Amino acid sequence: MLVQSTSAEQRTVLHNISWETFEALLRDTGEDRGSRFAYDCGTLEIMTPLFEHENPKSNFGNFIIALAEELGIEIRSAGSTTLKRKILKRGIEPDTCYYIQNELAIRGRETLDLETDPPPDLAIEIDITSSSVNKFGIYSALGVPELWRYNGQDLKFYQLIEGQYVECEFSIAFPLVSVSDLSRFIQQSKTTGEITLLKSFRAWVRKKI
């Protein structure tokens, strides 16, 4: 077992964990726990987010909602829902994720099963410290089309092309948003109040439409 702790995240890594044990841990710990799991073919990482990790997540969520409202797009927030497929022996709980292009396909659903349902259209990962599992491999295996990844300093957009994530400048779900645009607002969040920041972001989106 490996335990790594910083001011942003605490990570515990367990090896040789069976799928059945992973499923049992999910059931026993429930949906309200503070930690998030990532499972990759027998390796389980348990990450407990702290303040430095959680505040950017809130800002990303605010930006997504503002974008959807200003653009008149329906979305379905799936939060840190466990995304998993037994046949692939992979599972992950993103910082947050959204159904956008496929919102209508899961509208009204109370449960999610990736064996039959489409994966979220966009997942957001905040990794201030390095993860011990291959999250790109997990997300690509699950078929998530778009991934935003932030390490506390740099934001990157990725799109899934032929089973591999390729870095890109513009979002697939929100094509008017570039990574440099959103990076600017994320940097501003470090010195600006959240409401002021959100008003500024909305004004920027309206100018872009």
Residue-wise pLDDT for 152-161, tens only, equals: 899 999 999 9
Mean pLDDT across the stretch 67-86?
A: 95
The verdict on domain 51-208 having CATH code 3.40.50 is: no
Is 55's pLDDT higher than 90? no
Averaged pLDDT score across all residues of the chain? 91
What's the number of CA atoms in the CB half-sphere (13 Å) around residue 12?
Answer: 8
Is 163's pLDDT higher than 90? yes
**pLDDT (0 to 100) of residue 130:** 75
**pLDDT (0 to 100) of residue 5:** 47
**pLDDT (0 to 100) of residue 208:** 92
Q: Please state, in angstroms and rounded to a whole number, the distance separating the CA atoms of residues 1 and 157.
A: 32
Question: Sorting pLDDT into bands at 50, 70 and 90, what band is 54?
Answer: confident
Instruction: Using the structure block, give the residue that is written with the tokens 């994720």.
Output: 97
Pick the residue with more confidence: 129 or 73? 73
Tokens describing residue 166: 């390729």
Q: Please state, in angstroms and rounded to a whole number, the distance separating the CA atoms of residues 39 and 138.
A: 8
- Highest mean pLDDT: which of 66-70, 106-110, 124-128? 66-70
What's the number of CA atoms in the CB half-sphere (13 Å) around residue 105?
Answer: 14
| Lowest-confidence pick of 44-53, 160-169, 188-197 | 44-53
Tokens describing residue 63: 């930006």
Task: Say what percent of the chain tops pLDDT 70.
Answer: 96
**DSSP string across 3-50:** EEE-SSEEEEEE-S--HHHHHHHHHHH-TT-S-EEEEETTEEEEEEE-
Q: At CA 114, angle to CA 40 and CA 110, rounded to 5?
A: 125
Q: Where are the domains of the chain?
A: 51-208
Tell the burial category of 127 from Cβ atoms under 10 Å away from its Cβ (0-12, 13-18, 19+).
middle
**pLDDT (0 to 100) of residue 119:** 97
**pLDDT (0 to 100) of residue 9:** 66
**Cα→Cα distances 118→93, 113, 143, 162, Å:** 16, 8, 8, 17
- The dihedrals phi and psi of 20, each to the nearest 5 degrees, come to -65, -40
- DSSP letter at 170? B
